[in-house]
Structure 1
């Protein structure tokens, strides 16, 4: 039992340490966002202090007008009353003007911080390695950029105003009460005891629930985004009913958590009103007795009542701030977690330039594992001479795509080196790496924009003549010109206006324009029909000319254009030779080729 208790205590200590670390990380992020606008923040603090002081001064001027002005007025002396009225009006006008200025300043601060944060999240998610994106779902990333940033936006736009103004207002009112009448100040101070108890109860109860609302909201967004992203699969497998039930359950969870939050407010808000009314009645009772005995002026009692009534308004606003604060704090924790992520494939600290790559790719003693217990390449050596076209063949899971990702430096090897022209990819300048090595995948992703824009992705500063020349070289020009606006045709979302084969030709034109020395084709023709594949094959002949190429293909028709075929199995090369040599043999490739020929009969 004692061991279990110790284990539990150790876990609690670890949880506390982790929570402290997360808070420190969030505060560090907040500090870095505030640093560029620190002067505006200092000016805003000064403005809000003065404006709050002017607002609080109003009841004191009223007390002066009643206690000094009315007796003087009976003696035909108008100066005290006039002074009180003018001072009250000037304080009101000055406070209003400063509040307007304060609102503008806080808007500038919040917008500057939000723009900075949005840019950081976007730049960070682009900078992180492929490993992060393969484990961190797109729905969660979208939630960071939408609902989480919206929570922070609400806090900055209104919540901070409520906190700063409310806290200063309550502080200044308490100070004014003690200056006017210390007895009334003590009565107000006594009312803070039940207020503190109620506020602490609200804080403890709501803290966990607000985090649950963030989790429930994020789950809703993730499920919605994934459903819309995979809508084709949803339609294909008739998953609408299952999605409806799953989404309905998530909505119910979100509603239940919010219902609990509302119940907490249903206790807190009436409790706050009750404490305020009791405090007001107490000040009136004590003050009234003292007025009757001549110990307190009527004007001072009226001012004390006005102050007491005003004291609890900001308390309710600060409770609403805590609502937004909990939501924004949880959002800031998630965003700071993303921003703290470090690329698993970092840029070299002292990069080596390689202006003119020849295209010699070499694997020396490479071992690679996605996880410690998931070794894909146990020990791999390979030399690909410059200008050679090799085809990688093998069953699913043999390690072909992993090889391509290592050449592209989407991942780094666990052990050993992958080099280009004798330079370790981990030391090669990123610009030279991206210029020298290009991968064309099966997806052939097209971005929103024109056909010309998508081809120019390989060379953003390309002229229209260069774009058209690239399209002609791979056989894409003819179909592009048949589109409604030719190269200026908008391809729509994900290239929905063009077929799979046409998308692939556009991706080849993009690669041709980039003019890499090493080209990787990862299942680039797997999703094409036979006519489309033949069209693409013609483009490949031009695309692969005079450059090193690695072709990963299940279709053996694509393999025929290779100079060399490597058959992989369990992360090792079991056959190596020309297509003709391997077909003439009795190995794995010969069996695959025979089965492929039989499938065509």
Structure 2
């Protein structure tokens, strides 16, 4: 062996140890989550366990009664005494009825418990994802979240609804039937138990193989869903730029990866199930051969052999079910690992333990603020100081990527600064309750997202307790009342998914009305007029001059017509503020970036 081979061997061992450690951590995290989900249902789970125990006991009576009927009941009936045979037949019928009733009661109770657990898990996941910070959602795509809530939840549901039923029945059957086999005939029972040696080895192999395979399937299906969601959300761009074939090729790769992962998992299940079936059939053949030889020799009764073989068949049937349970368990375990990983994520923008109330006013202060999006990413905003007095309208101007939107996100506390502090009315935003902050600071972006529902409902998002009169006044303030009143049902018109019933400009005006109804101390407009046509822009410009009075405002816009209504302009370049002054003063200087932008704008109007 060469030295390079030796080093590769050591590296492989280290990788294997690391993978084992990571796998153990993931499993521990999943078990902790599962325990917290089941803990509130311990009493119903205990009742379900009692029902399944009784159901299994009732099913085991049948072969014993058949053995008694063969060895005692039938000979007695031949002699004229039918009581024993009658008792055997009556007992068998009663056990069958009891078995059916107990099984129905168990399955109904188990279904209720499983649905309650799934409901709890879905609610936890949805609540948690909603409160995670913007940084999580910018890195963890919506397609992955959908995968957690659909494909992964379906795998867990399948295990809870069917797998646990089969698992409990299989374990109890193995325990009870194994005991009965030992009672009926020890030598034959030991032959059966010897078959467990290869079964245990196969089970260990199956758990390791299927665990890896199903982790791969969970990641693969998430990629498929991500690709599908992105394609459907961007279908206009897809069709406009003829990207269909490119998307199809990407989907083909992701689909193939999902197919291959599923094939690996299914192959493992098939191998395990076939091994169980083979061992069971061999054991049954050996038992029948030896048992028949002993019956003919008079050392064993025919009824005992009959009961033993009936129990033996039932003994291996649960092992077949265990293969399916192991399959469901491997899939659900991988899904639970993914979900527990999301639930383990912590918000990067955290609520303070002892929040301070925000006083009236809207003065914004940046004190030695520095910001980067991640520990390994470059600095976006080098250290700077900035004060925006209450009631002042400030426009941020600069090239794309200069840092304007980052400043706006810090004002709205979608992110916390890496160093320094952002203060509102003298209070560090990290010391304010999120609910208090959202009533004082409202941000309107170019995305202008609307939810399915009426126009009035979308405007009322800014103030859920608003009356219809307040909603209509807010719409009128931004020039939206006229087009809303012209809709088929006026303010009750359903805007449909993502506001698809309205034009881009109309959606933006509704978003403006929503923000104005909230009546915040600070209003942040991030390219909020980008979707408006010329008439719409003029209407909003007129509304802005009224609505922004006595309110602190931070406006990010490339349109100079919007910038010129500001009291103050900050030109941002590379995260630094390179110009600061009123629009008139910066234009009068005749030099600098803002003056150049203004001159270019005037020339475009000529």
> Common fold, TM-score beyond 0.5?
yes
Q: Where do 1:402-441 residues align within 5 Å?
A: 402-441=406-445
Counterpart CA distance in 2 for 1:170 and 1:458 is 61
For residue 455 of structure 1, what is the aligned residue in structure 2? 459
- CA offsets 1:514-555 (integer angstroms, 9 cap, x no match): 000000000111233323322221222232122100001111
- Of stretches 251-260 and 281-290 in structure 1, the one that deviates more from structure 2 is 251-260
1:234 aligns with 2:233: no
1:2-151, aligned counterparts within 5 Å?
A: 5-151=9-155
The yes-or-no answer on 1:366 pairing with 2:347 is no
Structure 1 residue corresponding to 2:518, chosen from 514, 518, 522: 514
Aligned to 1:340: 344
Q: Is the 8 A contact 2:269 2:324 kept in 1?
A: no
Superposed counterparts of 1:152-551, under 5 Å = 152-354=156-358, 356-372=359-375, 373-551=377-555
- Match of residue 597 from structure 2: 592
Per-residue deviation, 1:202? 3.5
Contact 1:44 1:105 in 2 (8 A): yes
Do the aligned partners of 1:508 and 1:539 also contact (CA within 8 Å) in 2? no
CA deviation map 1:414-433 (0-9, x unaligned): 11110111010000122210
8 Å CA contact 2:373–2:380 kept in 1: the answer is yes
Per-residue CA deviation, residues 557-591 of structure 1 (Å, 9 max, x unaligned), is 10111011111112121111111000011122111
Provide the C-alpha distance between the structure 1 equivalents of 2:448 and 2:118, rounded to a whole number of angstroms.
34
- 1:222 alignment partner, SS class: helix
Task: Point out the more displaced range, 492-501 or 145-154.
Answer: 492-501
Secondary structure of residue in 1 paired with 2:430 = coil
Q: Secondary structure of the equivalent of 2:383?
A: strand
The range that moved more, 264-273 or 496-505, is 264-273
- C-alpha separation between the residues in 2 aligned to 1:155 and 1:560? 62
Q: CA separation in 1, counterparts of 2:334 and 2:272?
A: 22
Q: Is the 8 A contact 1:481 1:487 kept in 2?
A: yes
Asked whether the equivalents of residues 504 and 536 of structure 1 are also in contact (C-alpha less than 8 Å), the reply is: no
CA–CA separation in structure 1 for the residues paired with 2:97 and 2:297:
37
CA distance in 2, matches of 1:403, 1:201: 55
Q: Tell me, what secondary structure is at the counterpart of 1:374?
A: coil
Q: What is the CA-CA distance between 1:114 and the residue it aligns to?
A: 0.3
The two structures have a TM-score, normalised by structure 1, of 0.97
> How far has the Cα of 1:5 moved from its partner?
4.8
Structure 2 unmatched ranges of 5 or more: none
Whole-Å Cα distance in 1 between the matches of residues 269 and 47 of structure 2? 34
- Write the distance in 2 (CA, Å) between the matches of 1:265 and 1:9: 28
- Candidates 574, 580, 592, aligned match of 1:576: 580
1:347-399 CA-to-partner distances (Å, cap 9, x unmatched) read 00000122x52111111111111123410111111111111111111111221
> d(CA) in 1 for partners of 2:209 and 2:577?
61
Give the conservation status (yes or no) of the 8 Å contact 1:390–1:565: yes
For the structure 1 residues 49 and 251, does the alpha-carbon distance in structure 2 shift closer, same or farther, using more than 3 Å as the test? same
* Preserved CA contact (<8 Å) 1:392 1:567: yes
Paired residues of 1:359 and 1:517 also in contact (CA < 8 A): yes
Count of matched residue pairs? 600
Deviations 1:198-227 (A, max 9, x none): 444443443322332222222211111111
Residues 367, 378 of structure 1: 8 Å contact kept? yes
- Which stretch shows the higher mean deviation, 194-203 or 48-57? 194-203
Structure 2: distance between partners of 1:286 and 1:495: 77
CA–CA separation in structure 2 for the residues paired with 1:418 and 1:198: 61
Cα distance in 2 for partners of 1:10, 1:270 equals 34
Contact 1:435 1:514 in 2 (8 A): yes
Write out per-residue CA displacement over residues 13-58 of structure 1, whole angstroms, 9 at most, x where no aligned residue. 3322222111111000000000111111111111111111111221
Q: Supply the distance in 2 between the matched residues of 1:448 and 1:551 (Cα, whole angstroms).
A: 28
Distance in 2, matches of 1:286 and 1:85, equals 29
SS of the residue 1:521 aligns to: strand
| Shift in alpha-carbon separation, 1:152–1:445, aligned structure 2, 3 A | same
Aligned to 1:576, the other structure's residue is in SS state: strand
CA contact (8 A) 2:211 2:334 kept: no
CA contact (8 A) 2:390 2:552 kept: yes
- Between the aligned partners of 1:428 and 1:208, the Cα distance in structure 2 is 45
- Give RMSD over aligned pairs: 1.6
Separation of aligned partners in 1, 2:477 and 2:271:
73
Query: Which has the larger displacement, 282-291 or 339-348?
Result: 282-291
In the alignment, is the contact (CA less than 8 A) between 2:52 and 2:102 conserved in 1? yes
SS at match of 2:253: helix
Residue aligned with 1:144, SS: helix
In 2, Cα distance between equivalents of 1:598 and 1:561: 19
Contact 2:365 2:386 (C-alpha < 8 Å) held by counterparts: yes
Residues of 2 paired with 1:266 and 1:46: CA distance? Answer: 32
> More deviation in 306-315 or 193-202?
193-202
